[in-house]
């Protein structure tokens, strides 16, 4: 069985907006959510910038009792999902709930609770941790909360594949519907790892961007000659995916049709990206979508602003698209919302879907002098409106060599 899958609802909590409209509007305006971190541990860091979610008040969404058992990353997921479900007008009968599920991605899950547990264990005598520490910190907490809230009794799966986690979550949710295991899915990812421990670990890896001396918001510079690394962020994105017949029957608003997906492994190095693996993943996604490279009108790049990553991704795009590559707009929205780790694939796919929906392409900001080895159209510094987009692609390439590519096109009935 193979069925068509459409996107009917969107929800997002991010450093550049806490709903899809605000999120995309700020991306188009080139608004940076990267700032000096506001946290009591900042003085212990040598790199003090990050992309934090602002204007998010947990007390506006959850009771005090609920908050005792719901970690920050799960809070993000629940609020993003509520937006998506309301946007889709999704109502499920008891029978339909048994054929609906959740796929989410997260790298660290409840990072704050995990870190607090270690601090209490190592610094208190006798050691004592919160009774709910396991339930707060487990990676599948967000997906489980969504399943419980909406009574979704189909697959409940959490993927942890570093930066590609939520892209794979969306892709595997798509497969659940495409191959007949489900009729509707909530899919996305959530991350909240702006903690002292996580930040120190990334500092030690030496992949974090240096703060721009003139403007902290300009610190992430994908494809730029003077790029210095990635900027950690936090947030969540959740999409409602449905079987097309169900969506059309109930008169749902349809943002796009999800037509292509592939995931694969470089199988070569734990941190160094490999354009050959990325090329293979893009080609496989195109093959599933029954599209040619020239059919792609916009690519939301993985574009982390690391030295090797940007070059390898550019190589992969050129390998796949050949002579057409310079004519395909490519942008890295990480320049604005930072790297949301386990949530980033879903956030960026949502940016691509919104680009398709709005017929507008968000920019790569902070790109004033491109790296000579990055010689594509990266939509530098200013978004493009009133463009013709029929098909968009989103790339996610992770540590561990885990690659994922998603393709969406305009829904034509």
Mind listing the pLDDT tens digit of every residue in the chain (413 residues)?
Answer: 799 999 999 999 999 999 999 999 999 999 999 999 999 999 999 999 999 999 999 999 999 999 999 999 999 999 999 999 999 999 999 999 999 999 999 999 999 999 999 999 999 889 989 999 999 999 999 999 999 999 999 999 999 999 999 999 999 999 999 999 999 999 999 999 999 999 999 999 999 999 999 999 999 999 999 999 999 999 999 999 999 999 999 999 999 999 999 999 999 999 999 999 999 999 999 999 999 999 999 999 999 999 999 999 999 999 999 999 999 999 999 999 999 999 999 999 999 999 999 999 999 999 999 999 999 999 999 999 999 999 999 999 999 999 999 999 999 98
pLDDT of residue 189: 98
pLDDT of residue 231: 98
Each domain of the chain, given as residue ranges in start order, spans: 5-249, 260-409
pLDDT digits (tens, 9 = 90+) for 78-111: 999 999 999 999 999 999 999 999 999 999 999 9
Q: Which residue is listed with tokens 């509007």?
A: 25
**CA distances in angstroms from 270 to 54, 251, 373, listed in the order given:** 33, 46, 23
**In terms of Cα–Cα distance, which of 367, 379, 32 is closest to 221?**
367
Judge contact between 275 and 266, C-beta under 8 A: no
In 10 A of CB 191, how many CB atoms?
31
Q: Give me the numbers of helices (H) and strands (E) for the chain, helices first please.
A: 14, 14
pLDDT digits (tens, 9 = 90+) for 179-197: 999 999 999 999 999 999 9
> Which residues are the active-site residues?
163
In this chain, the answer to whether the domains covering 5-249 and 260-409 adopt an identical fold is: yes
**In terms of Cα–Cα distance, which of 16, 45, 11 is closest to 33?**
16
User: Mapping DSSP to helix (H, G, I), strand (E, B) and coil, where does residue 233 land?
Assistant: strand
Q: Which string of DSSP letters, residue by residue, matches 232-246?
A: BB-EEEEEEEEEHHH
- Cβ partners under 8 Å of residue 65, min gap 6: none
In 10 A of CB 382, how many CB atoms?
14
Pairing of strands 256-265, 384-385: unpaired
Distance CA 228, CA 34 (A): 15
Distance CA 387, CA 154 (A): 39
Distance CA 130, CA 113 (A): 9
The CATH architecture assigned to 260-409 reads 3-Layer(aba) Sandwich (3.40)
State the pTM of this model: 0.98
The CATH homologous superfamily to which domain 5-249 belongs is: Thiolase/Chalcone synthase (3.40.47.10)
**In terms of Cα–Cα distance, which of 72, 46, 48 is closest to 59?**
72
Distance CA 157, CA 144 (A): 9
């Amino acid at each position: 069985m193979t069925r068509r899958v459409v996107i009917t609802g969107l929800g997002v909590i991010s450093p550049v907006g806490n709903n899809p409209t605000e999120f995309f509007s700020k991306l188009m305006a080139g608004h940076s959510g990267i700032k000096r971190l506001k946290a009591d541990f900042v003085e212990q860091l040598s790199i003090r910038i990050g992309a934090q979610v602002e204007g998010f008040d947990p007390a506006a969404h959850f009771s005090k009792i609920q908050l005792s058992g719901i970690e920050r990353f799960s809070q993000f997921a629940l609020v993003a999902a509520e937006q998506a479900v309301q946007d889709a007008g999704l109502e499920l009968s008891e029978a339909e709930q048994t054929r609906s599920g959740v796929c989410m991605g997260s790298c660290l899950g409840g990072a704050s609770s995990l870190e607090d547990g270690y601090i209490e264990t190592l610094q208190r005598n006798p050691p004592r941790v919160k009774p709910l520490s396991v339930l707060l910190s487990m990676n599948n907490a967000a997906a489980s909360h969504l399943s419980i809230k909406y009574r979704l009794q189909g697959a409940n799966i959490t993927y942890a594949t570093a930066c590609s986690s939520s892209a794979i979550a969306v892709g595997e949710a798509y497969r659940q519907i495409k191959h007949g295991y489900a009729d509707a899915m909530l899919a996305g990812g959530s991350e909240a790892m702006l903690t002292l421990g996580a930040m120190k670990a990334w500092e030690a890896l030496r992949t974090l961007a240096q703060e721009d001396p003139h403007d902290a918001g300009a610190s992430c510079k994908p494809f730029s000659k003077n790029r210095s690394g990635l900027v950690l962020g936090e947030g969540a994105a959740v999409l409602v995916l449905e079987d097309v017949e169900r969506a059309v029957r109930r008169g749902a608003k349809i943002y796009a049709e999800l037509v292509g997906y592939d995931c694969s492994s470089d199988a070569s190095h734990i941190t160094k990206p490999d354009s050959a693996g990325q090329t293979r993943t893009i080609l496989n996604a195109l093959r599933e979508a029954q599209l040619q490279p020239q059919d792609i009108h916009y690519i939301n790049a993985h574009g982390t602003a690391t030295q090797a990553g940007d070059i390898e991704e550019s190589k992969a795009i050129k390998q796949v698209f050949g002579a057409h590559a310079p004519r395909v707009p490519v942008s890295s929205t990480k320049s604005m919302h930072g790297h949301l780790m386990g949530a980033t694939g879903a956030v960026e796919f949502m940016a691509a879907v919104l680009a398709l929906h709005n017929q507008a392409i968000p920019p790569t900001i902070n790109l004033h002098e491109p790296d000579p080895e990055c010689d594509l159209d990266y939509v530098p510094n200013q978004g493009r409106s009133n463009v013709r987009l029929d098909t968009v692609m989103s790339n996610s390439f992770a540590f561990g060599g885990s690659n994922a590519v998603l393709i969406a096109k305009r829904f034509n009935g």
